[in-house]
Every structure is written in C-alpha cells, then in structure tokens.
Structure 1
C-alpha cells in the first residue's frame, strides 16, 4: 500500500546521480548479465538520474557517436490523442526501446531495514537489488516502493525501463512521451517504530471558528502542534480555535508526529470543503477557481523538475492572480504540493489516467469499462490519493481525463467516498456525472457558458451550443445513452467547473475578460482553468548553430501532434506571454472602477479582507507623473464595496492639464508576501481624460479639429498643390502621380499606403483541423495574394483623391477604396473609404464565410527607423479581444522590442486604441500619426508575408525597411485552436467603412 509523502528524521539516502545506462531495441534489454555483482559496465553510457534518456546525450540505438536524439524517431515524441504504438491492448510491439540502468552504491553499517522508493519511472520498471528481483511497476507519474534488503557496504541496483508497456494505454495525456527514471530515487531507513503512514484529518467550522484535528498513524505516536497547545495520541480528536487555510491565507500550523522510531513533520491546514445548494464552498464561502492546467515541463529536462523551477511556477502564478491548479493529467512531484500548501493554491489533483486514443476504435476496448483493467485503474487511484492525502491545498480529486465512461469510475468513486469523503470529486467526460460532484465541460462558447450559469443549458448538458436541442420530429432530444432522467435532474443542480477553456496556443487566448464577466455573474460557476500553463518546447539548435524551440512537428516520426505542444501562458523558458498578462487582469479579485468624481472598489476575494493592501494613485500627463498619492480606503470584508471620492490633488491635476492625461488607481501589497514584495500591484483601474480639442490643437500648432469624430474636418489649402515630373505635391506631401501613393512627407522618404486586408495567421486562425480553420479559407480564397488597382487620381479643391480596387487573385470579391488627402498645416489628413464588393460569402467555390483579418493601411518606412513612441494601450501587444490588461499611457519601445517571439512565427505586436504615435530614427525626420480618434498599429522589419512564410524565428530577417500598419481594425485572436469560433463582435464587418488619420514629418 502506498504511504503518505512525509518529511521525517529517519535516514534517507538519495540515489540520484550518475548511473550506468545501455539502451536496447526490444524489451529483452541487454539480457540478464547486467544483474551480476561483478558485471563490467565501464563501456556503458553515463546517465543522470533523474532524467529522461531521450533528452540526454548518449549512444543511440542506431549506433554512431554519443548525441542527444532531439528530432529523431528515437527521441521525444509528442502526440495529443494518438497512441504511438498499435492500438492492441495490452500488448506491445517488439520494437520497444528499453533502457537498462545500473548503480553501484554503498550503505553505511547500521542503516537497518530499508525501503527503496522511486518517485516516477516512465513507463514501466522492473527492479533488482543485489541480483534479487524486487518487483515491477507501471504508472509513470506515481511513486512505488519495495522492501530493500540492502547490505552494509557495496550494493548493486539494476532497473530495466521499457518505453512502452501496458500502462501506456492508460497514459495518453496530450504530452511528450519521455521515458526514463525521471523523478528521485531514495533509500528510506525503516527503523523499528517508524511511521509508515499517517492521515491528517483537519476540519473547520466556519460558524464557530473551531478546527477539529485527528491524525491517524500506522503505529503508536503522539501529535504535537505547539502553537495550538495540542499534544495528544494519534487517533484522538481535538477541537480548538484556529485560523482556516485558504489559497488567499494559507495558514499552516507546524508540528510533529512522534513515534518511538521516527518523527514526521506536520503542516496542518484546517479547511472544510462542501457543496451547498449547488455552490462549491470552502470554509463556508463560495470558491471561484482562477485556475490553470499544469503539465510538468522544462525545456531541457522535460518532466524532471527541481524545487527552484516549481517555486518559479508558483510565484509567477500568484503574481498573475492565479489561485488554482489542475495537475493535468497526473499527480505532480510531491514538492510542488508542499509548495502549494505554503504559498496558497487551490489544487485539483488528477489521477494518472487517460485513454483518449481509444477514440480511434470508437471506445470499443476502453480500459475503465473493462473488468480486466479494473485492478490497474484502481491501483492508479490509490497511488494518487495515498501519497498526497495530507495536503490542505488539495480540495478536489479528479478521477481521470478524457477517458470516456465505464464501471471503473463508479468503483473509483465508491473507494474515494470511503477513504476520503473530505474532498469533492470531479470527472468531466461521463455525461451522466454520477461519479462527479461537478458538471463540467471543456471549451464552451460564451453563450453556452452563460446558459449554464443560468441553469438554462441544453438537455443533456453538452448537446448544443445554443438552447434546447430537438430531434427531427420536433420533440425534445433524448438524453445521451446511459443517462437517466434522475441523472439529468441531479446534473442540473451541480456546480459547474470549466475544467479547460481559453486554449493558449500562440497569440492568445482572446475573450478572457468576457468569460470572467460571465463567471462572476453566476454563483453556479465555480471557476475555470486555462489550457495551459507552459509551452512544451525543447531547447534545440539547427545544424548551423541557430537556436530554436523544438515542437512536435520537428520530430522525424509519426504520429506526431505538431505544434499543439506549444499552448502555454508562459513560453517554454517560463517567460510570460501577453496571454498571461491578460489573464492576470481577468482574474483580479479587487475591482477598481474610476469615474469622473469617484473610485469604486470591490473586494471579490474568497475570505480575505483588504487590510493587506494600499491603494496608490497617480495622474500622468504626456507620460510624466503630474501628481500621486495614496487613496484612503476603509478595510473591506469579502464581498464589500465602497466609493471613494477622487482626491483633490488628482482632480486638480486632471483639470489643469491639456495633454494626454490618465488617472490610475492600483491595489498593492502593503508588506512583503512569500510570493511578491511590498508594492506589487494586484489590481488596477484607470480613468482617461481627453484634452479639450482646441487646446490640444493649439498646443500642437495646427488648425483646431474635433478629435472625437471619426472623419476629419480640414480646410484645404489650394496654394500648396503643384505637379512635378511624375509626382504631385500637396502641401508638405509628395505623391506618385501613377499610383497615388505618398512617397515623401516633408523631408521623410516613405512609401504608401496600400489597403491591407491580411495578417500572418495565428495558431488560433488555423483552428483545429478543419474546424474554424479561417486561415485555410484565407489561403483558398487568395486573401494572402492581394493585387491593387488604381482607377483614378484627381486633384480637386486642394485635395488629392485616389480611388481603386484591392482584390485577391482568382476570385471575384474585393474592396473598392478611395483615399483622400488634404493638407493640414505641416502635415496631411488622410480620409479612407472602403467598400466590400463581390460575393464574400457562400461563393460557389468555398461555400464558407470569409473573415477579413485586417482593414487598414500599410506603409514602408526607411530601415533606419528605430523607435516608436505612442499614446494608447501598452506596452505589450493588444487586440480587440485582449486589451484590458494593458494600461493606457505614453510608451516608447524599439521596433525590435515590439515583436513577441512566439516560437511559431505568427501575427503579433498589434496595439489597439492608439491616439497617436511617432516613429523616430537618428538623422531622419520623425513620422507622427494621429488618430481621428484612434487606430491600431504594428511596426516590424518584415512584412506579414515574411511572417507567414517563416517556420522558425531565425527565418525572420531584416527586409531593409520598416513596415508600419496603421489600421482601422484587426480581428480578435480568439482561442479556436481548441475552442469556439471567434465571436462575431470581434470580427471585422464587411460593410462600407470610413476612417481618418493625420500624418506629419517633424
């Protein structure tokens, strides 16, 4: 029986280090000779333990020099749903790479009886000690132990690890297949009177404030919690006043469990998990999980993680307002759970069980449904629960992921109800939800999520994206097979957990704020977990030394899951993505709304008041701080709110400044926390003051205009119109007489604009297969191959007007446009009219709607351009469905720093709600662009087509120009790589559209 992970004072000898290793092509390994005590393994490879052999340098199966096998069929393999072996359970192919490990180690005299513990071996291990077979184990992410008859002095440990085993059929978990001894190996002394197991039961009564503690132990022992004055025998119940444990206030009471042969450390957190009237609660208050799914991953070591890396993950999560983790799809390293207890994260621990690949035979031999697999399935549950049962951070057990249905789940649930009724139980895939305390789905649309929140979802829970489903005869659709009316009634009363959503592959996800507005609106919705925390990429280099991030498509083998392994909120090296920035804003538990005369603050925390926070404010004018201070806010209990008047100093600063002015109010930590220093901002809100139009225009030395209208109102200046050879001069601007393009503005050479309708597809634009593959539609309808026609160029009433048509090859649809230029002081105003013409939808060839990703203008600027300064959202990239985490202000960045290094090149670096920007370079005039009132912009040293063609980041090279997009709009990013289609409100309407900008070279 597995034991609880514990830190005790009995001797522990780590067997981590350099082992001897030899890889063989079949399960026979190297034979039996390596078991001999005097076997000569000097010619074998050195292999670090813990590690994955496919990530280390050694002699490959195919022979040749020692090397890492990244990118080869002998190296790491990534699949999402497909098994990399034939679907022939429980049998294995003969070709089964097998690693024989050998370690010679010494044991001190008097070490005594011992247990040999392996933290994780992928996928199957057979173990011998001093020539004696100890046993074997499957369950790659699960610990296993053997009684270890070690002897004083020299010992020989041999382990045979098979890459594939019967256990492989239970581990199809959207991940890299990484064989090896990848977690710690330890020799545990077991003296007489040692504590082989213990179970901490620490309940909390939110009404009385009393905690109830009982610690069961495998031997006679005494429980000591000095801070609470507790000293009682194990097995005895004691009640005492305590502070409860929660993710916000992870209160742990340190103590010890003392037996005659061993003392074990205790870290007790009192908390009570209960579902009340369909609402998930902890300690009597509703919980809303602000969560992420987390695979274990490191770009060099795979699933072998050290404590510092785990701590880095948790610190990044806490700073991004993430308070919950689903350990997808297996239990993590035990140190991670200890850190969750200490730092404060709600945890859903998932059993090391997924059989997704049986979808390829219609689930005909799905293991959880077959009695012959029952022992293996139950073994995985028991080995998940028993080692981890004492962690207060774990509030939910998850039976499996994407393993369809079967009687095995009912047996798992029955065992859990008896062994640990203190936690809730989740299983998402069974539509009956008989064995789950939650109704749960993956990747619902916003509309369906709102229906679920209102208990108005379709019959059966997952049959429709909108409303009730009807059969062909017009009646109410039947329930899914095996689901009874009683099941349906129970399901409708369950809390809803969004176990996966917002697929964070590449640029995205979008709509995070939309999801969270819905989640906050309904008590039934107890939170959501983004897929997922980290990109699963590996550090690699090309043959000529260029570094790149390796993904599933870089592997020379089949099947492979392609780029799907890169779907994290942090890059593989744990650099936060713009998606994590947006999630932090969506997850804020302190709401701050700034109006003209007050700041409204809402405490949306689970159980903590705001005594730990300060509320700094500042007024910035044109990027400079004009005034600042601390807002006087009373301490707010959870659920409370207050409206605080804007401070007089802030009001004065806002009223006296005519430049771009912003009032920002934040909520910041008043003192250092374990996960962040004092001053760390956990939430913020802004109010933006638009300067009076007349004052702003006068300050800029130009005619007065109405900044709040879309169309510019500018008086032409006919005296500034002249013609030159091949060109037309209009005020400070010179145009090509044939194309109508602007070629010079003041002393600045430039080229453009052309109407731009295309962007390099994001991963979400590619959809999932052919589902929501709008990028495929763009390519089939030649949207990436636009040609431009100029029909007419006129100079009338001091204005230059160019008209024409932009259209793809082969197809009849296009955009008719007119660009009208008007001199305006030292600059020019450009008015654009664009009208979509032709059959853009339901064409005989496509029979599909064509979403236009961009509607804007593309300029070519001198390659010397280096820096962009702007007023708008920033500093990071923003899109119409992912901008609320970016503050409005004045920013300055190099053009190179505007690029987001997604490992798969794609559209990036856009900025919405830009009021003005300046592009500067040494020795040449600065280009200033002003919105009427706002625009989107991107600036890069390569075109969208270069970005589209690039496979790796090193494929992107400086074109010698800077390409500046000044756009009326760009469509949202969404999360359709796995999820619903891009919502309509984030698409660009194909209708006649007009907009204006002003340009000047200074």
Structure 2
C-alpha cells in the first residue's frame, strides 16, 4: 500500500532558507555615469544611466497577508483609487498601522522561522495587526539611450521582506532589510510605460535577525532607482592599499569583476587616480587593460599599481582620492564610468593595540542608530550631515553603525569628513538570547542568513577608507554561524579586523559592553594578544551619563584599551501632536501609539535630542574626548604643559588664546604663539599674564583654549576644540568682615506662632511650628512669602508641619530636602535605587519640630535654633539641627546638620528647598557652567560667572526628571526685573543649586515635558551634596566617590538681600559676616 505524503506549502517569508530569489549577489555600491566629468561631480541625477524611482507611489495597506489585494501587480488592475505614499518612508509614520518599540521581546510568537503564530499575550499589537502588508505600485519609462543595456532595479532598504513584479511578471524576492536588493529586470521591461509592483511584509523570518533596540518600522524606507550598464561592464571592484615601511610610497591593489551579458569583445578599461576636488588634468593613470579576454562567465582580475608620495587618509586628516574606472567599447566610445572614494590607509593589530598608518589609535566613539523624528529610518542627507558635523565638533572620531548597515551616503560622508567606522551587519537575535537550545547562532539552518547578511554588508561597503572594522552583529548569541561569518568576511577582506562582542573567540578584538571601571582595569592588564574595545559604555539615557572621564582616563592610560563607543547618539523620539494641542509636537516613545510589547522610553538614550539640539552631556563628552592635554605644576608662574594627543595633526593647525579671570571677570587675555608640536610631544608654555592687584577674597582662574585657525567642513574658524581651566593659588588677602554699623539694632517679638525679627530695612518671620522662615521682606518687598493658609498642614497638638509636595502652596523658607525626581539611571528600569526612595516615600517628608529656641547674641544678631525630626509614612527618619543667625543688616546665616537613617543605601541629595514669589526669574551665579552639571558629569563646565533664567535652567528630557543642577557654586542670585532679590552665598562648602518652575515631584509625576505645568514661583534647591548620575539604566551605578551615603553631614550658606545699589555681586559676596 502506497503512502501519500502531503506537505503544506511553506511561505518564502517564513523560511530561513529562502533569503532571496533572483536577487543579485552583493557588490560594491556604485552608480554608472556617461562621462568622467559626470562621475567627478557625483550628482547621480546627472547620470544618463540612472533613474530615481523615489517619489509618490500608489499604496494599499492591509493588516493580514490574506487580505492583500490579488493581482495588483497586473498593469490592467486599476489602483487609481489607492492612497499615495512617498518613497522612501516608513508606512507607520504615514498613518498606517503602529510603530512598535520593543527591545529584546519579539512582537510576535517566538517560533522561528514562523511569524504568524497566535500564542502571544493578549495586549500585543500583533493580535490586531497580525502581519500588515503594504502593496506599492508605480509606472516608469525607460530612457531611449538604455537600449542594448542591462537594466537593474536597486532597493537600498526595504523592511522586512518583499516581492517584486515588473509588468505583471514576478521578478524576485528579498529579505535582509538593511542592505540592497538588486534584480536584473532587462527581460521584463519594454519601451514606453512599465509597471512596477512591490509587496512588502512587516514580519518575516528575517525579523528574527532584526531584533535591534529600535522602533519596529516597515516599508520601502531607502532609495529606489534603476541603473543601466553595458553588456560588458564592471560588476564589482575592491581597492586596497599597501605601503612601504615609512609610508612614503604605496601600491593600490585593484580586484575587478567584469560581467559579460553579450556584446562585442574588445575595448579597454582605464583607471585614474585624482585627489578629491582637484582638476581632472592632475589625474594619474593606475592602469589600462584590454577587454579581450572576457568570457561569457566574466572575468576576475587583480592589478597592482604603484603610487609615490600618497597623502594618507585618517579621521584626523581625511585625505581622499577619487578612483575612476572608464570602460570603452572596441570602437573607443565610453560605455561606463564608475567613481569610488579611496583613501591610503593601513590597519594593523599588534602589541595588543590597533594601528592605523603606523600609529596606535584610540577610538573616541559613539553608537549611532539611524533615526529621524519625523521620518524614522528614512533619514535624509541633511540629517546625516548634521550628525557628522556635531560628532566632529564633539571630538568624536569613531561611529559604530549600531546595529545594522546604514544608508550608503553615511559612509561616503565619513570618508569625506573623517570618522572611523565600525561597520555592523544586520544580525541581532536578542529575543532568542535566553533560549539556549534555540539560539539561532548555533542553528545550522540559520547559517545561510547569518553569513549572507555579513557578506552583503562587507561587499557593499568594502571600498570606504573610513571603515576600520567589521562587526558581525550585536547580541545574537555565539556559535558556529558566527564562525562561518568570520571566515566569509576574511575570504573577502583580510585588511580589516572583525569585531563581535557576542563571540570574542571568532573576532580579532576582544569586546565587552557596559563594563565597570574595575573590570576594565583588569582587562587592561591582561596579556591577551587581542586589543580590548568597549563597544557600548556610558549609557546616555535621560540625565546622564556619569563618569565618562574615568573611562577616558583608563583608555589613555592602558595601551591595550583601544577605546569605546558611548551608547548612544540620538534619542529615538518620534514627533507627535501634543494631546489636545495639535499645533504643538512632542517626542513620543514606546507605548505612545498603543504599541505592545514595549520598553517605554528605553530608546531615549542619546547624547543629543531627536531634533539634534546641543545638550550638557554632549558638552561633557567633547571635553573628555579632546585631543590636547593641558596640565600645570606651577600655574602661578604661568607654566603650562601642553601635550598633543592627536596622531596625525601638528598643533600649529590651531590658534591658542588665554584669559585670566577674577571671580569670573576677565582681567587679562592674550594669544599664545603658534605651537609647532607634533603628535605625542609635550611642550612647556609660559602664559605671560601679569600678577594682578589681588582683590581680597577673590579667586583667580586661567583658561586656555585651542581653536580652529581656518574653516573646516564641520566647523568655522574660531571653533574651540580643546580647553582647560586652572585655579591659580595666588596669595590673596583674606576677605573683610562686613560692618554692621549704621543698621541700628535688631528687634524681635513673638506673636502667636511667629517669631518676628526686624531691622531698619528688613523683616523675617519664623513659624515655631513649621520650624523655618515663612516670610522675608527687604525694603518692603516680599522675597520669601507664605500665605497663612499654606501652613494648613500644621497639627496644633503635635506641632507637625507637612511639606506636602503634592499641594500647590508651600512654606516658603528653607526645608530639608533629600529627594530628587528620579533620573532614568535612578530608576534603572524598575530595579534602581529610586525604588527604595519610593518605597520609603522620600518625596513626602513630614517635619516635627522637637525644639525651637532663640537667643540674642547682641543687639546686632539673634540665633534661632531648630531641632527637627523629619519622617515619612514608611518610617524613614532624619534628625536635623539648623541654626539661623539673623544679622541686623538682613543677612541670615544658615547652618544645618543632618543625621539620616541607614535604610536606603544612598541618598539622592542633602540640602534645602525653598520658593521665591512670582517674578523672581533672573539668575546669576559664580560656579561651574554655563550648562547643567553634576559631580560625575562636569568636565568642560568651568568656574565662571553666568547669567540665565529660571525658565532657561530647565533641560529637555523625554521623560522629565532631575534637571538643572549647577555644581561648585560660590554664590548665586535670584532677582526680579529691577534687580532686587536674594543672594545665596556658600560658606566653607561649595554648593549645588537649581532654580526651576517645578518641584521635584512635579517632574517625577510627568511622563512627558508637555505635562509639566510651570509654577509661577521660583523653586530653589540648595544642596551640600548630590548623588552622581552614573549610567545604571544599562550599566554601572555611580562610582563610589560620587555616591551620597547616609551619614551625618553638615552644610552652611547665607541668605542675603540684594539690590543693585549694593554694588558688584562678586565683591559683596566676599565680605564675611561676623563670626559669633
């Protein structure tokens, strides 16, 4: 009896063995031109053999493959009623379906290679949108001069899988969303109108290898074009440089693949080399070879060309050349011209280090995910240029294309501007990482897909000098498929090292991510022959990252450490209308579209904002990554040691200036003579400042700045590339004590719950039950004012005042504050230190005065002593003692000692919070600035005198959190438009402060900036100490030296009235109050 076997037809898009049908093999990216002049201009639309298909297409979208329109590929099918969609674009950002942000959780049932399973949680978006399909149609006409040529259609990027038809005939299939899909459509086209149809699937088996930490988006999101080549044409080429020992001469090895699709034998191929931007008359010939031996199977040929005195390419000096290939027919006519960027550059690993052109290189890097807040992954040239210019301005020299091949233009820009590239393949199966038996990296059925994605990445981009390392993917497990990928890469390109953090055994460098400083030091001292690369560090989510400098110091100190890449470049926010205010936009993150699963705002971890605004964390990175080191062991004499840490640039390229300041005011400045200082050299420079007339109690700082002496492609002349500030320990006379003569005597009276102290010009009121200042008037102006009903929280029997952070009216005077609105690092995705702060209700302290007394020191001063127990409903307690010394001139000296419980592990802050009435908006301070800074993120924030406003101290964070802090503050003022207000002066300990229109709990309650409602008052925080930022959202906690422990702590400061008649703020801040 026979057996009938019935096999269900497996979909191509659910078959890991089908990664393409009729798809051309990977090759170098090129555009054919008609003349040498066209190729040099590089304007693709000027090529007679290029036809862009970008623009408006007809579009149909359905949520399930079974609902996709039948026969839509037939030219006779009417699609005129379909919607229009722009190509390139992601259809979710054009109103079709939902963007989904998920990190490691697949948004479909995990059952590779299948994507249509229904065993998923009920809230997953896929339940409503099982597998959307976009059907695209457009017509095109073939130019007449394309007769007798082979015509190819090129898709730069389509996610995640597609079928292609021309004139109703199926051309092929492709998956692998981040590298080109090309099809030879010569036999499918005709003269006149042609119809192109594309069916795109949102999910496919390829999606298992595209589990990156980004928005899951779909569609034809990169360029689509046609190009035409002669019957005999250059189908691929690979340019490689080799050098003599001192790099004074080089050879170029050109490996060519010539294809023959008919046509006449004969003709010639010439290759020219010319410096980028130079006249073609300066071109030199590399070779000229006859096209007489091209069989029907094509020809592969390698030619060696010698070049004397080449200009070398590095990120610091991106000397770039054009290589032109000119193909001529047997009758001498030019049939094809190709252009390629070329840089003379050699990469070598030896002595545990990475060498480029013979110099050991330190990678000062960043990870970059392609993202546009309006267009998703359909990123345009202008945004790419903005990114690369900002990176260069921040001293970044390396970019990792995390975690997939980027748009081809990105690599061209990196060649031109000068950035080292770690070029990553489109392989990430993070969602399979916890399933040891099913990990795709070990499954032989998935080898083909792993290898193909790596090979196509290498083939497309192999000629870019900016690429110094291939990366086989990210967080995709380890196993035989990466061993095979490594071998496949090396079969193509032996000139570059290979990286893969997930499987260091099959890589040329050792790599880890989010490594601690301690572990990094152990790696640095290892005798392992491979150099060590930190592929991700300093997770920049929200208000962070901390301790970038400590990592950079390690990179500088240990040769085996070749650097690292910060995670990551840009917040991946999508612009969306503010609810209820459609004319305004905000930047949405995961879950905002009803998308599930989601990791919420875990993709908002960029150094820059979605719209590429400068942020304080960028300023910090710029300082940490600078190439010029400035130190001094005798700054009083003006002696500065300058070290050139560039590898290929002499410092004479820069102008250097200096300035001497007295309490933030420039009193001398000058220009430093051009420094002829080669790489790695150190020179002592004497800054010729004159010893100033020392002002009593003043601080003197020397600031040295190096700036571009001429325009660069990424910045104008005068742009600062490196700087340093030095405190000069001059023997300055001690500050003078303020005289209290002429102010009369200090009066006091008790009135009910209040203790009122007054002088000629001021009145200050203490609440005995609140234990703090409720009102402060100077010249009859309220500088601190509490409405009586604001003390509604005082319990008459127990004298407890509630500092209720959820109500609108507060006691105005200083109150103990230990809470900050949790940063993303504090929250650490629900596992951070903020969980304990919330558990113990640290945001909601109640204060019980256990003792309040006062004594008159003399007729010029009165001490008010407040002993208090502050506690939360979760039984967290802090004992504190604050002594207020009120002087007859209106100055109040505040001295506080706190003793907290030992339950939290670490505190967010220790200090006071107070509020000033509406209208006190203007801020001036003498401290670290001008931008926001914290104790482990203040590099580049120099001590100076800065002006800002309460409004401008607000920083943008996608999810509101702690913001606006300034460190090492000597004094600050908060004044109204007439200049009247309060001055706060540090005593023995420098202060942290912020001034915002929000309380900490206003920030912590909001999920988006648009939800913040600015209060009219100015909310002032004054901190003796503040917890470091760290990078615990994905990485280490703040380093031990930046942790704020629960231990006894004391701090002092003064509250002083200020008006312009008192004179310069710096001068009056130096005058000491009498010590009693």
1:801 has 2:864 as partner? yes
Q: Is the 8 A contact 1:616 1:665 kept in 2?
A: yes
Q: Is the 8 A contact 1:539 1:550 kept in 2?
A: yes
658-667 vs 910-919, which moves further: 658-667
The CA distance in 2 between the partners of 1:205 and 1:591, in whole Å, is 32
The CA distance in 1 between the partners of 2:739 and 2:1039, in whole Å, is 41
Partner of 2:981: 926
Partner of 2:555: 519
Q: Is the 8 A contact 1:654 1:689 kept in 2?
A: no
SS of residue matched to 2:595: coil
SS of residue matched to 1:374: helix
Kindly state the Cα deviation for residue 351 of structure 1 after the two structures are TM-superposed.
0.6
Partner of 2:127: none
Q: Is the 8 A contact 1:295 1:328 kept in 2?
A: yes
1:272-351 equivalences in 2 (<5 Å) = 272-351=346-425
SS of residue matched to 1:373: helix
Counterpart pick for 2:309 among 241, 251, 263: 241
1:746 has 2:771 as partner? no
Partner of 1:380: 453
Counterpart pick for 1:854 among 895, 904, 909: 909
SS of residue matched to 1:905: coil
828-837 vs 303-312, which moves further: 828-837
The CA distance in 2 between the partners of 1:925 and 1:576, in whole Å, is 32
The CA distance in 2 between the partners of 1:834 and 1:691, in whole Å, is 32
Partner of 2:32: 8
Q: Is the 8 A contact 2:157 2:221 kept in 1?
A: yes
Decide whether aligned partners of structure 1 residues 170 and 583 sit closer, same or farther in structure 2, where only a CA change above 3 A counts.
same
The CA distance in 2 between the partners of 1:866 and 1:353, in whole Å, is 52
Counterpart pick for 2:91 among 34, 46, 53: 53
Kindly state the Cα deviation for residue 270 of structure 1 after the two structures are TM-superposed.
0.8
Query: What TM-score results when the alignment is normalised by the length of structure 2?
Result: 0.83
375-384 vs 348-357, which moves further: 375-384
Counterpart pick for 1:85 among 108, 111, 122: 108
1:637 has 2:700 as partner? no
Counterpart pick for 2:839 among 774, 780, 789: 780
The CA distance in 1 between the partners of 2:997 and 2:69, in whole Å, is 58
1:156 has 2:203 as partner? no
Query: What TM-score results when the alignment is normalised by the length of structure 1?
Result: 0.89
Q: Deviations over 1:60-112 (max 9, x none)?
A: xxxxxxxx35xxxx310001101001001111217210000001122222323
The CA distance in 2 between the partners of 1:939 and 1:244, in whole Å, is 51
Kindly state the Cα deviation for residue 784 of structure 1 after the two structures are TM-superposed.
1.4
Partner of 1:998: 1054
1:694-733 equivalences in 2 (<5 Å) = 696-697=735-736, 719-725=745-751, 726-729=754-757, 731=759, 732=762
Partner of 2:516: 445
The CA distance in 2 between the partners of 1:657 and 1:37, in whole Å, is 88
SS of residue matched to 2:715: coil
Q: Deviations over 1:855-903 (max 9, x none)?
A: 0011110111111001111111110100112121110011111100112
The CA distance in 1 between the partners of 2:482 and 2:749, in whole Å, is 82
The CA distance in 1 between the partners of 2:746 and 2:548, in whole Å, is 50
Q: Is the 8 A contact 1:274 1:282 kept in 2?
A: yes
The CA distance in 2 between the partners of 1:874 and 1:692, in whole Å, is 26
Decide whether aligned partners of structure 1 residues 757 and 680 sit closer, same or farther in structure 2, where only a CA change above 3 A counts.
same
The CA distance in 2 between the partners of 1:604 and 1:434, in whole Å, is 32
Partner of 2:787: none
SS of residue matched to 2:601: helix
Decide whether aligned partners of structure 1 residues 668 and 983 sit closer, same or farther in structure 2, where only a CA change above 3 A counts.
same
Decide whether aligned partners of structure 1 residues 979 and 527 sit closer, same or farther in structure 2, where only a CA change above 3 A counts.
same
1:76 has 2:99 as partner? yes
Counterpart pick for 1:106 among 141, 147, 161: 141
Kindly state the Cα deviation for residue 982 of structure 1 after the two structures are TM-superposed.
1.9
Partner of 1:223: 271
The CA distance in 2 between the partners of 1:858 and 1:691, in whole Å, is 35
Kindly state the Cα deviation for residue 690 of structure 1 after the two structures are TM-superposed.
7.0
Counterpart pick for 1:899 among 954, 977, 986: 954
Kindly state the Cα deviation for residue 813 of structure 1 after the two structures are TM-superposed.
3.4
1:790 has 2:855 as partner? no
1:662-673 equivalences in 2 (<5 Å) = 662-673=701-712
1:385-534 equivalences in 2 (<5 Å) = 385-430=458-503, 433-455=504-526, 492-534=528-570
Q: Is the 8 A contact 1:756 1:855 kept in 2?
A: yes
Partner of 2:655: 614
Q: Is the 8 A contact 2:269 2:326 kept in 1?
A: yes
Q: Is the 8 A contact 2:270 2:285 kept in 1?
A: no
The CA distance in 1 between the partners of 2:459 and 2:1001, in whole Å, is 55
The CA distance in 2 between the partners of 1:439 and 1:665, in whole Å, is 38
Kindly state the Cα deviation for residue 623 of structure 1 after the two structures are TM-superposed.
4.4
Kindly state the Cα deviation for residue 803 of structure 1 after the two structures are TM-superposed.
2.4
1:552 has 2:590 as partner? yes
Kindly state the Cα deviation for residue 733 of structure 1 after the two structures are TM-superposed.
5.0
Q: Is the 8 A contact 1:821 1:828 kept in 2?
A: no
Partner of 1:143: 180
1:192 has 2:192 as partner? no
The CA distance in 2 between the partners of 1:693 and 1:816, in whole Å, is 39
Q: Is the 8 A contact 1:757 1:853 kept in 2?
A: yes
1:876 has 2:931 as partner? yes
The CA distance in 2 between the partners of 1:250 and 1:633, in whole Å, is 23
Aligned residues: 924
Where do 5+ consecutive residues of structure 2 fail to align? 1-24, 35-48, 118-129, 259-267, 275-281, 290-301, 329-334, 785-811, 1059-1076
Kindly state the Cα deviation for residue 670 of structure 1 after the two structures are TM-superposed.
1.0
Q: Deviations over 1:355-395 (max 9, x none)?
A: 100024x2322222111111111111111011101000001
Q: Is the 8 A contact 2:470 2:499 kept in 1?
A: yes
Partner of 2:641: 600
SS of residue matched to 2:957: coil
Q: Is the 8 A contact 1:534 1:571 kept in 2?
A: yes
The CA distance in 1 between the partners of 2:994 and 2:244, in whole Å, is 55
Decide whether aligned partners of structure 1 residues 102 and 591 sit closer, same or farther in structure 2, where only a CA change above 3 A counts.
same
The CA distance in 2 between the partners of 1:745 and 1:592, in whole Å, is 48
443-452 vs 745-754, which moves further: 745-754
Decide whether aligned partners of structure 1 residues 91 and 716 sit closer, same or farther in structure 2, where only a CA change above 3 A counts.
farther
Consecutive aligned runs of 4 or more in structure 1 exceeding 6 Å deviation: 690-693, 715-718
The CA distance in 2 between the partners of 1:692 and 1:869, in whole Å, is 27
Partner of 1:909: 964
1:570 has 2:608 as partner? yes
371-380 vs 888-897, which moves further: 371-380
Q: Is the 8 A contact 1:592 1:666 kept in 2?
A: no
SS of residue matched to 1:563: coil
Decide whether aligned partners of structure 1 residues 452 and 651 sit closer, same or farther in structure 2, where only a CA change above 3 A counts.
farther
Kindly state the Cα deviation for residue 208 of structure 1 after the two structures are TM-superposed.
4.0
Greater Rg by CA:
2
1:213 has 2:252 as partner? yes
Where do 5+ consecutive residues of structure 1 fail to align? 57-67, 456-488, 704-714, 842-848
The CA distance in 2 between the partners of 1:395 and 1:17, in whole Å, is 35
Q: Is the 8 A contact 2:965 2:993 kept in 1?
A: yes
Kindly state the Cα deviation for residue 512 of structure 1 after the two structures are TM-superposed.
0.6
